[in-house]
A and B are shown apart, each in its own frame.
Chain A
Amino acid sequence: MDKENIGILIVDDEFSVRDSLAKWFLSDGFRVGTAESADVAMTRLGEQPWDIVLLDIKMPGMDGIEFNRHIRSVDKDIIVIIITAYSSVDTAVQALKDGAFDYVSKPVDPDDLTHTIRNAVEKRRLAQENIQLKQRIEDLTMPDEIVGTSPQIKRVLEMIATVAQTDATVMIRGESGTGKELAARAIHGNSHRRYAPIISVNCGAFTETLLESELFGHEKGAFTGACTRRKGKLERADKGTIFFGEIGNISPKMQMDLLRVIETKQFTRLGGDTPVHVDFRIISATHRNLEEAVAAGEFREDLYFRLNVFTIDMPPLRERPEDIPLLANCFLQMYSRSMTRGVREIAPDAMQMLVSYDWRRNVRELRNVIERAIVLSSGEKIIGRDLSFPFRYRAKQQGDTMEEIEKAHIGRILERTEWNISQAASVLGIDRTTLYTKIKKYGLSKPS
């Protein structure tokens, strides 16, 4: 059920409300109609089918409660959402008793409105699927980055297609840059949860306390700086998918908290005591060997099994060089949209370099190299000279030492900053003294 096929009828006597809500929903891709009175609304309801009616319950010359009943007598599956001012919440509650789906009060928090509509769409979708019995088979949508003809990537694609049909937890393993998060997004985008968001949490990026408040949210005043109530990521992922990047990095306490959420499907916000119910699917990713972490007692075994119903291994790019031309061309198309530059193809010499490069940062690195080449390229073709590699160019199995790599990297950064030592040191994330020592050690010198 695509959004274009979902019709929202806005019934409100205030022009500014009709107008702004109509624009809001149009830009969200819905079919939208408006009515300024109950009479007009009745006409609209007769003209074409509507899925959701947003109804201002207090309009002159109309009894909102009565009208709500009337709509539902026309089509009992229509979802009615009441719009109300704070003063008339009682009336809204009466409407809920009469079968309205939900109510929002003016002015609405845009995020709450998004959630309410999403829930309504989900309800409507379930109702329709029950009617149709047979589910439509939709084409898989895949991010451009996950393409290829190699057996390794084909297995990944098959796994994604399979697990997307289920609600099971998935563990995605792979080196940095192999597209673990993209795979997670592809699973989500092809699952029945796709109209709800996928929320990603990089577990490695937060301290324990910060991660706690990011995940569970907090009530106003829960800690210094918490000046508003804030929904956590778990709550935002409701009906959708939550993606945990670097799950191996979470603390023992967090492991226990997470296990509890998975088992009970509920939690409380920091500084609060009302349980919040959630329904999401978990996809996690790791570059670590979690089995070892479990064996070493660093990662709870029970949690590991909960998170790992399916496993997908993302292959390193250097193990599937046959996919590189396809990927490179794909990124070329994506980025040459930077429109003044008419870069159309990758010359054979450049392609050869790409295929034989040792991609230690995998697909992400390839994407960056292509993007930079498009910016640097002066003609219609990307040639070898346009390619600049984050590490000095080296074909596979050449065995550079860390020192050589460091030397080349420092050299390049110095070149880029025109030997501005402070700037280069800050780019490199080291202090100036260390940089001077390294310049001396590697015998780097400023070109005259």
Chain B
Amino acid sequence: MNPSKLYVIPIQLSDNSLLDPLLAYLTHDFGVPAEILRRELDLAKAYNVERDQYYSSMILAQLIENPPESAFRILGVTGLDIYIPVLTYLFGEAQFKGIGALVSTFRLRNEFYGRPSDAQLFEERLFKEAVHELGHTFGLPHCHYPGCVMNSSTDIDDVAEKMVSFCRACAQIVRQDRPL
């Protein structure tokens, strides 16, 4: 079977209503049907009591274990606060030139920063971070092109500075890797 599906795995999401728009957007943007995939994960393994956070790489490793043959890419979407040991937090992590990526919604909501809730802005941020992390799986590094979704963002306000789409150069690299 051809790897022809972009699988989205929900992990501890408080709000599942964001999934449908996300699937629709990813399908449109990558030109590959995006679908939900259910997976049992051992989250306790990734949990760090002291930090009250989840080790991102450990979740990512589980996401890409024995992937279905039809998997073109696998994206985990989690409501958990994720980290890697050397950093205090992450918006997401991806396998560089791999198939797996993970995004966390935990720090994408306005409420986290004491600002008024904004569902549309939240959705936009989620789309950007999802596309961004998937971009890394195509081997894209961070891009300097103004507004490209591959601009690096380590602060929530950086996310606003980029668009939801790739610049032309990045898009070309993504396009080369698309299944037939």
Chain A bound to chain B: yes
Q: Which of A144, A199, A339 contacts B157 (CB 8 A)?
A: A199
Smallest Cβ-Cβ distance to A342: which chain B residue:
B31
Which residues of chain A in 7-47 are interfacial with respect to chain B, using CB atoms and an 8 Å cutoff?
A: 14, 16-17, 20-21, 23-24, 26-29
A29 contacts B146, CB within 8 Å?
no
B31 contacts A27, CB within 8 Å?
no
Q: Which residues of A contact B31 (CB under 8 A)?
A: 337-341
Q: How far is the CB of A352 from chain B (nearest CB, A)?
A: 26
B155 contacts A111, CB within 8 Å?
yes
The digit string for B148-180, where 1 denotes a CB below 8 A from any CB of A, is 000010110110110001101001001100100
The digit string for B18-37, where 1 denotes a CB below 8 A from any CB of A, is 00000000001111100000
A3, B158: Cα distance in complex, Å: 19
Listed stretches A101-109, A149-157, A387-395, A439-447; interface member: A101-109
Q: How far is the CB of A261 from chain B (nearest CB, A)?
A: 18
Which residues of chain B in 55-106 are interfacial with respect to chain A, using CB atoms and an 8 Å cutoff?
A: 57, 83-90, 94, 96
Smallest Cβ-Cβ distance to B135: which chain A residue:
A27
Q: How far is the CB of A220 from chain B (nearest CB, A)?
A: 11
The answer, yes or no, to whether A173 is at the interface (CB within 8 Å) is no
A334 contacts B146, CB within 8 Å?
no
The answer, yes or no, to whether A185 is at the interface (CB within 8 Å) is yes
The interface size of chain B toward A, counting residues with CB under 8 Å, comes to 41
The answer, yes or no, to whether B147 is at the interface (CB within 8 Å) is yes
Q: How far is the CB of B79 from chain A (nearest CB, A)?
A: 19
A28 contacts B152, CB within 8 Å?
yes
A197 contacts B158, CB within 8 Å?
yes
Q: How far is the CB of B170 from chain A (nearest CB, A)?
A: 10
Asked, given contacts A233-B157, A334-B168, A339-B178, whether A143 binds B141 with beta carbons under 8 Å apart, the answer is: no
B87 contacts A226, CB within 8 Å?
no
A29, B145: Cα distance in complex, Å: 13
The interface size of chain A toward B, counting residues with CB under 8 Å, comes to 52
The answer, yes or no, to whether A351 is at the interface (CB within 8 Å) is no
Q: Which residues of A contact B142 (CB under 8 A)?
A: 27-29
B146 contacts A185, CB within 8 Å?
yes
Listed stretches A186-194, A283-291, A301-309, A425-433; interface member: A186-194
A236 contacts B175, CB within 8 Å?
no
Q: How far is the CB of B128 from chain A (nearest CB, A)?
A: 15
A230 contacts B113, CB within 8 Å?
yes
The answer, yes or no, to whether A168 is at the interface (CB within 8 Å) is no
B88 contacts A107, CB within 8 Å?
yes
The answer, yes or no, to whether A227 is at the interface (CB within 8 Å) is yes
A182 contacts B84, CB within 8 Å?
no
Smallest Cβ-Cβ distance to B160: which chain A residue:
A200
Q: How far is the CB of A398 from chain B (nearest CB, A)?
A: 33
Q: Which of A23, A186, A225, A340 contacts B146 (CB 8 A)?
A: A186
Query: Footprint of B on A, CB under 8 Å?
Result: 3, 14, 16-17, 20-21, 23-24, 26-29, 83, 106-111, 113-114, 141, 143-144, 182, 185-186, 188-189, 194-195, 197-200, 225-228, 230-231, 233, 236, 333-335, 337-341, 375
5 contacts between A and B (CB under 8 A): A16-B85, A28-B142, A143-B145, A199-B161, A228-B113
